[in-house]
Amino acid sequence: MYKSLIFYITILLLSLGTAVSAIEVKEEDKNGDGKTDLWVYYEEGRPLRIESDRNYDGNLDMWISYKDKGKKLTEVDLNFDGEIDMRSYYEYGQRTRFEIDVDYDGKIDQRSQYRNGRLIKLERDNDSDGELEIILDISDRQQTEQIILPQHE
């Protein structure tokens, strides 16, 4: 009840914004219980944001936002306690960063960073002291692959 009120206010606010940019929302009821569990927001026909209730408990647990330059952020509440435990960042369709809280204590336990789809930095809290230790870091290394690669005949 409360949640749907918030939802309608959101719609109202979005409708008020239509003069500036047309935002449309598409709702889906994936499990057929009569309650929406997937919302897709479009701006001028392009997806802007996706919100999802993956376990159908009435609370959102996945958010995907799309930004310029192919940037995308995925946030997931893996254990459905209302706190986000996993974040993936994308740029031009490639993942640039990934963070996960494996034990759901609110602190990230592993973070990986990518460049051109390759892992360049990996941090993990190996001793569970709440601080991430650097496992791998080649982020300052120049990419030499292009130079080494043989020329096409």
- Please identify, among the stretches 21-29, 68-76, 90-98, 143-151, the one whose residues bind Ca ion according to the rule CB under 5 A: 21-29
How near is the Cβ of 58 to Ca ion at its closest, in Å? Answer: 7
Applying CB under 5 A, among 27, 57, 131, 133 the residue interacting with Ca ion is 57
Residue 81 and residue 104 in contact, taking contact as beta carbons nearer than 8 Å: yes
28 binds Ca ion (CB under 5 A): no
Our CB check for Ca ion shows the closer of 41 and 101 to be 101
Cα–Cα distances in angstroms (integers) from residue 146 to residues 142, 143, 152, in the given order:
10, 7, 12
The DSSP output letter for 129 is S
Which of 56, 108, 110, 51 lies closest to 80, judged by CA?
56
Which of 27, 47, 45 lies closest to 36, judged by CA?
27
83, two tokens? 């706190």
Binding-site string for Ca ion from residue 58 to residue 97, where x marks contact by CB under 5 A and - marks none: -x-x---------------x-x-x-x-x------------
How near is the Cβ of 35 to Ca ion at its closest, in Å? Answer: 4
Cα–Cα distances in angstroms (integers) from residue 56 to residues 8, 10, 26, 33, 59, in the given order:
19, 20, 17, 9, 7
How near is the Cβ of 2 to Ca ion at its closest, in Å? Answer: 15
- Please identify, among the stretches 20-28, 42-50, 52-60, 134-142, the one whose residues bind Ca ion according to the rule CB under 5 A: 52-60
Q: Biggest alpha carbon distance in the chain?
A: 67
Applying CB under 5 A, the residues found at the interface with Ca ion are: 29, 31, 33, 35, 37, 53, 55, 57, 59, 61, 77, 79, 81, 83, 85, 101, 103, 105, 107, 109
